[in-house]
Amino acid sequence: MFEVLAAAVVVGALVGVASGGRLHWVASARLRGLGLLVVGALAEAVVGAGWVTVQGWVATTLLLGGYVCLAGFTVANLGRPGMGVVLAGIALNAVPIAVNGGMPVEGTAIVRAHIATAQEVPQLQFGTKRHLAGPGDHLRALDDRYPDWLTHRVLSVGDLVIGVGVGAVTAGLLHPATGRRRRRHRRAGAPRPWHPAAGEPAVAA
């Protein structure tokens, strides 16, 4: 997912700049629940990258716990464009992992992504997050089945949805928040409230 997220951030930044956004708005953006983002990303890295050797239900629980934290971060920031799309992508990945005890990966997609030949696929090591898809897996339409020929990865529909959402979030961060623009507009253009002077009636005749 790192390559997908990096590409999404770059494309989102280009779209944001092209639509009149400015980089300085990113520094002033206030995102809620950043601790959830950090914990969720660390949990995904621990399981996905194999930083710590965990197996079975421990790995699945840690992985799903990371998704819960990431989902909590997106929910806390749903007011920002694209966060709802990211949340949908997280759900699309979490469901097949919960049902199958990990993310199934289609062998044909591995071959099409030029990761291994058909003869080599059964000998591949998938780590604790993924496993080769088989007849016992469910919801295979949501598993890793889309080959990426550039980075030699296999992606799920959830990965693609998350990428679109992250791009939209990045583009939105280059623009001021809607509420901030409205408050600034009201301060600049709204007429001052009328207050009666001393001795004047409160309601005009």
Closest CA to 107 of 134, 127, 125, 129: 134
How does pLDDT run along the chain (205 residues), one tens digit per residue? 788 899 999 999 999 999 998 988 888 888 999 999 999 998 888 776 666 666 777 888 888 999 999 999 999 999 999 999 999 999 999 999 999 988 999 999 999 999 999 999 999 988 888 899 999 999 999 999 999 888 889 999 999 999 999 999 999 999 987 544 444 444 545 555 555 555 555 554 4
pLDDT value of residue 185 = 43
Closest CA to 98 of 72, 66, 54: 66
Two tokens at 27? Answer: 């520094």
Four-CA torsion 38, 150, 157, 97, nearest 10 degrees: -60
pLDDT value of residue 169 = 96
pLDDT value of residue 164 = 96
**What is the identity of the amino acid at 40?**
G
Query: Could you tell me the CA-to-CA distances from 92 to 25, 166, 181 in Å, in that order?
Result: 31, 15, 34
pLDDT value of residue 56 = 76
Closest CA to 175 of 23, 34, 12: 23
